[in-house]
């Protein structure tokens, strides 16, 4: 098989105007030959004045001979042949293997040159970029010469005291910028001392797609724009550039080199890595040590950990204010948009990522635990198949894609996700399940291997998501699990790449890693009501686990009141949904990321998280003030809502004292009285009858009706099998104190009466509640206008409520007409059906809604209780919002106070680092000149170049200090 073509490695790159003209002539000749082969068809035409887009030709030319090959391409092919044991034919390697070797060698070349590239980019950002920003735009060659002059002046230090300069070079390359593509000659850096060297790409403010003798240069501004363009990837950005260049053709001329999107993508990815290593504050001098001492959120002024001077704080220092040396709050969630295709980028398999800030040690621990658990599951599947039990638990564990690992006391000190929770058993472990019974069939070796690979039971702590088969997925990374602060900034080391469906072991690993290093006060999770029970069993630090406001509102009322962050003291208006805001931005870069190699996928996401963090940090003070103003409005609206609830209750005949009593019962529900044995038996019998009726409805061969949200029209189908099995299991569990009765027994009939009475009570209360809602909407819509958006929203809500009311009436009619096994009607011990309308017509319902009447006389008491419970929940929620809003005002004031000290702290750290770098540079220069002597020094000195690098860092840190001081001045002393 011939080697796989690659657009910027295995194809001739056009580097001169003559080659470009010849390329276009050859393409036109081939097009003419194709037109001759298809007589009678008109020749394609373009509107006059528009030139070709410059895309790569449809038919690529064969790889040129070795003497005409690019220097970098020849070296890559030679290295690949040598690495494979000689030539490709001798080694028997395929084209795909050669391509993988070329790509991995190119990646290693970049990693080898990265230290020098970092120094070059720092020098360019400190000197050339700042000088260029103050000048008018010039032609490309002149711009590169100016950049080379500054690079020669600031990077080459001659011991003899001479000054290096730039001269035009002889090698021509393709140069791409925002203005237009063109051909330029690479400048040479020369010095009277004899130094002569071709300027490196980063010294010219450019980056190349290859590291050895690059033939294409992409300007840093163009690459920055491509980094900021998240949606569509390099192909879409290249199309935009071609269109822009076409529009500017009248100004800059035509005939430039064609743009290769793959080369643009390769240069952009390498520019991301170099920029991260060169210009990130952690990489500048001694700032890295200072920032590491600020905790996992060094860019968030309110969440960074440092000693806050509260001597000038005006007010009481509450324990929930962000003044202590702890993390105030983190929110966790998973994003399934950031996937990665399993077969994408296999040529770079095994290469290590260059950027490790957000995807760090916690992810490494989890991936190792997942790898071990996956090996244990596979060994369990082998043991199960060897023992002839392919359908056993071991085979199921082998095909499962869930991540291993719960955690226990041993997991806390180990790799995290590999620890086993107490009481977990081996029910979730395919390996352990297979090993337990495989020795009798002669497969003891496989069983021993499975037991050795499985250090702990393979458990899945689900987040209420079904398991997926591993073989059915086209992705090897199914998304990200992340921790962010309450201001939306991702935590360093707080991201895990999901190799399976979301599960609790991922949050186990993250929380174990964080709580082992810092104290955490609050942790938000959308399934926190379940996770807190799991986490409480572990012998680990216990933060307060809450559910975000948005997700908690969808839980049942009792769970909402107990676990929502809305009702937690000292949280302010931290809604706990900050991950969702970050994931909304991830949608833009998810599409191009999933097609990358895994190493590029990792570094690309790291860069995007860094950009997200920097964007939040730049707007921190402004966003904090705007949020505080919005919170004040919401607090006022919540206070008005409290008064509206009381007025609505009084209009319905419910006093304020009844509402407050219902609120107390909601917050602290009265404990039920102990049930005697007779009551327990009756309740279990009613539960048994309820399960039995639903099972019979599902097992019915003909179409039927059964009440319930998921079973309106019941038809026998394959999807009902799992539901039937689940109901049978629940029915069997209800028989702890009673025996299974026959349908015609008196016990079964008594249980049917009790179950029917409970369902009737629920239907009556719901009908009253829905009728009241419809009455409100009927009278509110005319006041909202006929064509407004609010009126349309009320109309949609009215239609949905009416449909729900019709379904509930249908459920009520079913339970009212229920009969026993002999066909006899069931009694109504509570008189719930007295006054039931004879006909449930639309006219009757409309009359009740328009007249504000009751459905029937006997239902007012139940309807009032249901309405009181709903109004009490609304009142309690509004009162909590008012209380959280008052806390939020104090928290925002404290965060502004802390942010001002944060900016002052970082400015002082920058000042110390500038003084350190300048002092070190001066000492180095003095020592080098004293050692070399004024007359005998020849050539560049390594010590002087190191001094130049220190001076460059001092310039960059000085600018960062100015930025911190400017932010400190922008931060107000108090809320405006």
pLDDT (tens digit, 9 = 90+) per residue, 773-824? Answer: 777 777 665 555 555 666 777 788 888 888 888 888 888 888 888 888 888 8
**Is residue 647's pLDDT more than 80?**
yes
Q: What does the pLDDT average to over 864-868?
A: 74
940 vs 31, residue with greater confidence:
31
| Closest among 513, 478, 554 to 330, alpha carbons compared | 513
Confidence of residue 522 (pLDDT cuts 50, 70, 90): very high
Name 435's Cβ contacts closer than 8 Å, sequence gap at least 6: 380, 383, 394, 447, 448, 450, 451, 454
Structure tokens at 365: 């621990």
**Is residue 138's pLDDT more than 60?**
yes
* Residue 217, strand partner residues: 175
Q: What does the pLDDT average to over 616-621?
A: 92
Confidence of residue 738 (pLDDT cuts 50, 70, 90): confident
**Is residue 447's pLDDT more than 60?**
no
Question: What sign for the dihedral angle of Cα 386, 389, 392, 398?
Answer: positive
Question: What sign for the dihedral angle of Cα 703, 707, 712, 715?
Answer: negative
Confidence of residue 493 (pLDDT cuts 50, 70, 90): very high
Whole-number Å distance between alpha carbons of 169 and 62: 30
Whole-number Å distance between alpha carbons of 438 and 419: 25
| Closest among 201, 240, 181, 205 to 133, alpha carbons compared | 205
* Residue 532, strand partner residues: none
Whole-number Å distance between alpha carbons of 522 and 566: 13
Please report the pLDDT score of residue 230 as a whole number.
66
Confidence of residue 93 (pLDDT cuts 50, 70, 90): very low
Element (H, E) at 493: strand 490-497
3-state secondary structure of 512: helix
Report DSSP state, residue 348.
G
- Read off the pLDDT of residues 378-401 as tens digits, 9 standing for 90 and up: 676 666 655 443 333 333 333 333
CA angle 100, 101, 104 (to 5 degrees): 85
**Is residue 75's pLDDT more than 90?**
no
| Closest among 900, 913, 936, 757 to 302, alpha carbons compared | 900
Whole-number Å distance between alpha carbons of 115 and 873: 61
Model pTM score: 0.72
Please report the pLDDT score of residue 64 as a whole number.
34
Whole-number Å distance between alpha carbons of 192 and 186: 20
Structure tokens at 9: 């490695």
Name 80's Cβ contacts closer than 8 Å, sequence gap at least 6: 88, 98, 101, 102, 105
Whole-number Å distance between alpha carbons of 327 and 511: 12
Question: What sign for the dihedral angle of Cα 641, 646, 652, 654?
Answer: positive
Please report the pLDDT score of residue 523 as a whole number.
95
* Residue 490, strand partner residues: 484
The residue written with tokens 């000659």 in the block is 185
Structure tokens at 312: 């000038």
Count of beta carbons in the 10 Å neighbourhood of residue 876: 24
Whole-number Å distance between alpha carbons of 475 and 628: 42
Q: Tell me, rounded to whole angstroms, the distance of Cα 351 from its chain centroid.
A: 23
- Read off the pLDDT of residues 887-906 as tens digits, 9 standing for 90 and up: 999 999 999 999 999 999 99
Structure tokens at 139: 């032609």
Confidence of residue 860 (pLDDT cuts 50, 70, 90): low
- Surface-to-core class of residue 118, CB atoms within 10 Å of its CB (0-12 exposed, 13-18 middle, 19+ buried): buried
Q: Are 338 and 416 in contact (CB under 8 A)?
A: no
| Closest among 728, 730, 702 to 714, alpha carbons compared | 702
Report DSSP state, residue 174.
E
Report DSSP state, residue 14.
P
Structure tokens at 61: 């030319």
Characterize 204-238 residue by residue with b for buried, 16 or more Cβ atoms within 10 angstroms of its Cβ, and e for exposed: bbbbbbbbbebbbbbbbebbeebbebbeebbeebb
Length of the chain in terms of residues written: 976
Please report the pLDDT score of residue 950 as a whole number.
86
Kindly list the distances between the CA atom of residue 293 and the CA atoms of 298, 355, 490, 954, in Å, as whole numbers in the listed order. 8, 20, 17, 21
Report DSSP state, residue 201.
G
**Is residue 594's pLDDT more than 80?**
yes
| Closest among 460, 578, 584 to 525, alpha carbons compared | 578
Whole-number Å distance between alpha carbons of 8 and 778: 68
Query: Which of 435-449, 638-652, 713-727 is predicted least confidently?
Result: 435-449
Question: What sign for the dihedral angle of Cα 44, 47, 50, 53?
Answer: negative
**Order of strands across the sheet that contains 327-335:** 490-497, 480-485, 327-335, 520-525, 544-546
Measured in degrees and rounded to the nearest 5, phi and psi for residue 196 equal -150, 120
3-state secondary structure of 400: strand
Confidence of residue 695 (pLDDT cuts 50, 70, 90): confident
Confidence of residue 362 (pLDDT cuts 50, 70, 90): very high
Whole-number Å distance between alpha carbons of 411 and 455: 11
Q: Are 155 and 945 in contact (CB under 8 A)?
A: yes
Please report the pLDDT score of residue 543 as a whole number.
92
Please report the pLDDT score of residue 87 as a whole number.
39
**Is residue 435's pLDDT more than 80?**
no
**Is residue 136's pLDDT more than 70?**
no
Please report the pLDDT score of residue 912 as a whole number.
92
Measured in degrees and rounded to the nearest 5, phi and psi for residue 203 equal -65, -25
- Read off the pLDDT of residues 258-268 as tens digits, 9 standing for 90 and up: 888 888 888 99
CA angle 784, 788, 792 (to 5 degrees): 85
- Read off the pLDDT of residues 462-476 as tens digits, 9 standing for 90 and up: 454 434 444 447 888
Please report the pLDDT score of residue 961 as a whole number.
93
Name 252's Cβ contacts closer than 8 Å, sequence gap at least 6: 179, 180, 182, 245
Please report the pLDDT score of residue 162 as a whole number.
58
**Is residue 714's pLDDT more than 60?**
no
- Surface-to-core class of residue 462, CB atoms within 10 Å of its CB (0-12 exposed, 13-18 middle, 19+ buried): middle
Kindly list the distances between the CA atom of residue 911 and the CA atoms of 33, 130, 291, 897, 963, in Å, as whole numbers in the listed order. 69, 20, 14, 22, 12
Characterize 418-449 residue by residue with b for buried, 16 or more Cβ atoms within 10 angstroms of its Cβ, and e for exposed: bbbbeebebebbbbbbbbbbbeeeebeebbeb
Which residue stretches of 124-138 are H helix? 129-133
Please report the pLDDT score of residue 858 as a whole number.
44
3-state secondary structure 642-695: HHHHHHHHHHCCCCHHHHHHHHHHHHCCCCCCCCCHHHHHHHHHHHHHHHHHHH
Percent of the chain with pLDDT over 90: 21
Please report the pLDDT score of residue 471 as a whole number.
42
Query: Which of 52-56, 172-176, 535-539 is predicted least confidently?
Result: 52-56
Count of beta carbons in the 10 Å neighbourhood of residue 93: 20
Helix 656-667 vs helix 860-932: crossing angle, to nearest 10: 60
Confidence of residue 875 (pLDDT cuts 50, 70, 90): very high
Structure tokens at 950: 């220190």
**Is residue 49's pLDDT more than 70?**
no
- Read off the pLDDT of residues 289-328 as tens digits, 9 standing for 90 and up: 899 899 999 999 999 999 998 888 887 888 888 888 888 9
């Amino acid at each position: 098989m011939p080697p796989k073509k690659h657009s910027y490695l295995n194809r001739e790159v056009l580097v001169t105007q003559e080659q470009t003209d010849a390329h276009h002539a050859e393409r036109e000749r081939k097009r003419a030959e194709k037109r001759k082969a298809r007589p009678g068809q008109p020749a394609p035409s373009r509107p006059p004045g528009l030139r070709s887009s410059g895309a790569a030709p449809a038919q690529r030319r064969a790889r040129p001979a070795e003497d005409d090959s690019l220097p970098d391409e020849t070296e890559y092919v030679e290295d690949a042949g040598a690495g494979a044991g000689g030539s490709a034919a001798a080694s028997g390697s395929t084209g795909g293997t050669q391509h993988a070797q070329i790509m991995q060698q190119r990646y290693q070349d970049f990693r080898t040159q990265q230290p020098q590239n970092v120094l070059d980019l720092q020098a360019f950002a400190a000197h050339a970029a700042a000088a260029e920003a103050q000048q008018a735009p010039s032609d490309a060659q002149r711009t590169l010469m100016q950049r080379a002059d500054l690079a020669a002046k600031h990077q080459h230090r001659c011991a003899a005291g001479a000054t290096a300069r730039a001269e035009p070079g002889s090698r021509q390359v393709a140069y791409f910028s925002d203005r237009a593509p063109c051909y330029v000659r690479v400048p040479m850096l020369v010095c009277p001392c004899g130094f002569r060297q071709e300027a490196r790409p980063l010294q010219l403010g450019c980056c190349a797609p290859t590291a050895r003798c690059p033939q294409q240069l992409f300007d840093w501004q163009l690459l920055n724009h491509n980094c900021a363009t998240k949606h569509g990837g390099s192909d879409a950005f290249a199309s935009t550039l071609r269109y822009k260049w076409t529009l500017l053709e009248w100004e800059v001329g035509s005939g430039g080199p064609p743009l290769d999107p793959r080369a643009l993508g390769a240069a952009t990815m390498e520019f991301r890595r170099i920029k991260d290593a060169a210009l990130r504050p952690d990489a500048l001098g001694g700032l890295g040590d200072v920032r590491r001492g600020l905790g996992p959120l060094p860019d968030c002024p309110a969440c960074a950990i440092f000693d806050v001077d509260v001597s000038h704080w005006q007010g009481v220092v509450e324990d929930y204010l962000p003044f202590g040396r702890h993390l105030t709050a983190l929110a966790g969630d998973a994003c399934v948009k950031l996937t990665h295709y399993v077969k994408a980028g296999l040529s770079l398999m095994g290469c290590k990522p260059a950027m490790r800030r957000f995807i760090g040690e916690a992810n490494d621990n989890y991936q190792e635990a997942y790898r071990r658990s996956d090996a244990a599951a596979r060994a369990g599947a082998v043991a199960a198949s060897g023992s002839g039990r392919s359908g056993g638990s071991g085979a199921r564990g082998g095909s499962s894609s869930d991540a291993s690992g719960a955690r226990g006391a041993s997991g806390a000190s180990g790799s995290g996700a590999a620890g086993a929770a107490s009481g977990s058993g081996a029910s979730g472990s395919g390996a352990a399940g297979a090993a337990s019974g495989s020795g009798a069939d002669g497969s003891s070796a496989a069983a021993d291997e499975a037991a050795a690979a499985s250090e702990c039971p393979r458990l899945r702590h689900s987040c209420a998501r079904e398991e997926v088969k591993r073989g059915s997925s086209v992705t090897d990374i199914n998304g990200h699990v992340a921790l962010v602060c309450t201001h939306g900034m991702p935590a360093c080391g707080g991201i895990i790449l999901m190799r399976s469906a979301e599960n609790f072991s991922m949050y186990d690993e993250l929380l174990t890693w964080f709580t082992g290093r810092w104290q955490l006060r609050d942790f938000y999770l959308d399934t926190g009501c379940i996770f807190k029970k799991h986490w409480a069993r572990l012998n680990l630090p216990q933060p307060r686990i809450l559910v975000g406001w948005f997700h908690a509102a969808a839980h049942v009322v009792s769970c909402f009141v107990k676990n929502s962050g809305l009702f937690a003291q000292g949280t302010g208006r931290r809604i706990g949904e900050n991950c969702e805001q970050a994931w909304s931005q991830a949608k833009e870069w998810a599409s191009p990321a999933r097609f990358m190699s895994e190493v590029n996928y990792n570094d690309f996401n790291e860069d995007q998280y860094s950009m997200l963090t920097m964007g939040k940090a730049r707007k921190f003070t402004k966003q904090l003030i705007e949020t505080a103003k919005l919170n004040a409005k919401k607090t006022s609206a919540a206070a008005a809502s409290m008064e509206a609830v009381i007025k609505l209750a009084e209009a319905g005949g419910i006093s304020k004292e009844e509402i407050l009593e219902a609120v107390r019962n909601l917050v602290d529900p009265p404990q039920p009285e102990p049930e005697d044995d007779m009551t327990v038996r009756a309740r279990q019998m009613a539960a048994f009858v309820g399960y039995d009726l639903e099972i019979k409805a599902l097992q019915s061969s003909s179409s039927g009706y059964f009440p319930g949200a998921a079973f309106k029209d019941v038809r026998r189908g394959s999807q009902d099998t799992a539901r039937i099995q689940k109901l049978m299991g629940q029915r069997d569990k209800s028989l702890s104190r009673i025996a299974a009765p026959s349908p015609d027994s008196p016990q079964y009939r008594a249980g049917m009466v009790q179950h029917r009475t409970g369902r009737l009570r629920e239907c009556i209360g719901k009908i009253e509640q829905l009728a009241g809602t419809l009455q409100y909407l009927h009278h509110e819509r005319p006041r909202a206008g006929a064509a407004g958006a609010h009126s349309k929203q009320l109309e949609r809500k009215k239609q949905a409520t009416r449909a729900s009311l019709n379904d509930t009436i249908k459920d009520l009619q079913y339970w009212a007409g229920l009969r026993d096994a002999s066909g006899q009607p069931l009694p109504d011990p509570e008189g719930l059906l007295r006054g039931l309308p004879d006909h449930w017509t639309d006219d009757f319902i409309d009359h009740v809604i328009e007249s504000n009447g009751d459905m029937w006389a006997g239902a007012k008491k139940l309807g009032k209780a249901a309405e009181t419970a709903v109004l009490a929940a609304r009142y309690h929620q509004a009162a909590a919002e008012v209380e959280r809003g008052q806390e939020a005002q104090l928290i925002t004031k404290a965060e502004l106070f802390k942010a001002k000290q944060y900016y002052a702290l970082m400015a002082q750290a920058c000042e110390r680092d500038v003084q350190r770098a300048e002092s070190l540079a001066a000492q180095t220069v003095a020592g080098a000149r004293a050692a070399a002597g004024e007359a005998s020094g020849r050539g560049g000195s390594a010590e002087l170049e190191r001094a130049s690098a220190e001076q460059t860092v001092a310039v960059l840190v000085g600018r960062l200090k100015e930025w911190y001081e400017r932010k400190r001045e922008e931060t107000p002393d108090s809320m405006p």
